[in-house]
Amino acid sequence: MNSCPRARSGATATHRARFAALWSLLLTVLVLAPAPGAQAVPGPTPSTSAAGAPFGVRAGLHGLTTLTGGHFGYALKSGARIEDSAVIYNESDEARTFHVYGADVTHAAGGGLAPAQEGQKMVAVGSWLRLDSAATVTVRPKSRATVRFSLAVPTGTPSGSYLGSLVTALRTPAVGGGVNTETRIARLVELTVPGTTDLQVSLTELEHRPAGGGEEFTVTVRNTGNVLYTFAGTLNITGGGAARTVPLTPTGIYVIPGGSATLTGRWGGLPVLGRRTVTASVTATVPGGATKTVNSNTVRLSSFPWLIAALTVAGALALTLLLVMTRKRWRARLRRRAEERRALRALRRELRTGLRTEG
């Protein structure tokens, strides 16, 4: 254990204030999923107490060198090393065996954070964590056990934010020919290597498509710098009168260096006629630090009542065709009447000529 934990409490207190919102993101992450390499083999049915009893994990130096909420937070220079511990609580009535390991924290699909799976290659904090004892720990019923570990920052590590996690896993035996499952608690390990802060934000092309009587827009924000930040975004719509904004979601989630998150916004109630320009604006904020706003490309939309116009044109064509057909019929009728009158006049002339001849 570190011999001078209180000497670091001032620095870590500032660290706690900067990353308060992050605790809620990785507070006790419970994952129930098939264990890596688990096979569906018959096994004894565990008792109710063994299958459903809780367990917990907290930081060993809670409130001193660690973040509140049971997580870990350090500010260490390149090449520095620190020691800490985690306490595992077994609240069940049976002894339980836990597997403890360090893992990198990566960006999840759609944004957010997730601990890497065991067996993946760890390249950052997950590989810098070293357990001082065996990775498998058996804890007696209603007891607790302390797992000591060290975190050593490799020499030459660039300044910036690095995230990892200390994962405690409990494997549950297969039941009735099912698969083994694993319950994991991941405690965040947030490391800051002091130095130059490089807040860099980039956006992909703003894309759009029709959706539910409106238009749906998507844009991806990428963290190309060296610090962790949250972000919030809006769609800025101008043209055709007063400007308006549409919020992009999700908001307030973290993007780790090298990570990305996709934002979506829906603009409903599109105008019937007119031209509009749409731009996405995203503001990244380092907790307790700098902010940076970037804008996407501009999308231009033209609204025209094509259906109404098509119906109008179709109606006009139908009316024109009706008029043409009516006119043709009317002219044919007039021609027939004229021919009938001519024939009648000719007949009358013939009759008058015949009467004069007989007289």
Residues 6+ apart with CB under 8 A from 246: 217, 234, 235, 237, 265, 266, 267
Cβ count near 147 (within 10 Å): 22
Q: Which two tokens stand for residue 285?
A: 């904020």
Mean pLDDT of 79-102: 91
| Residue 307: per-residue pLDDT | 60
Residue 106 has pLDDT above 70, yes or no: yes
| Residue 303: per-residue pLDDT | 63
Q: Can you tell me the distance from the alpha carbon of 241 to that of 259, in angstroms, rounded to the nearest whole number?
A: 38
- 5-193 topology per CATH: Immunoglobulin-like (2.60.40)
pLDDT digits (tens, 9 = 90+) for 241-276: 778 899 999 988 888 888 888 999 998 876 656 788
Cα dihedral across residues 26, 27, 30, 35: positive or negative: positive
pLDDT digits (tens, 9 = 90+) for 260-317: 889 999 988 766 567 889 999 999 998 778 899 999 999 988 765 556 667 777 888 8
pLDDT digits (tens, 9 = 90+) for 325-334: 887 788 888 8
Q: Can you tell me the distance from the alpha carbon of 311 to that of 101, in angstroms, rounded to the nearest whole number?
A: 68
Residue 135 has pLDDT above 50, yes or no: yes
Q: What mean pLDDT value characterizes the chain?
A: 77
pLDDT digits (tens, 9 = 90+) for 6-19: 333 333 333 443 44
- Whether 5-193 and 201-304 share one fold: the answer is yes
Q: pTM higher than 0.85, yes or no?
A: no
Domain boundaries, given as residue ranges, for the chain: 5-193, 201-304, 306-359
CATH number for domain 201-304, candidates 3.30.1780.10, 2.60.40.10, 3.40.190.10, 3.40.50.300: 2.60.40.10
> Contact 247/282 with Cβ under 8 angstroms?
no
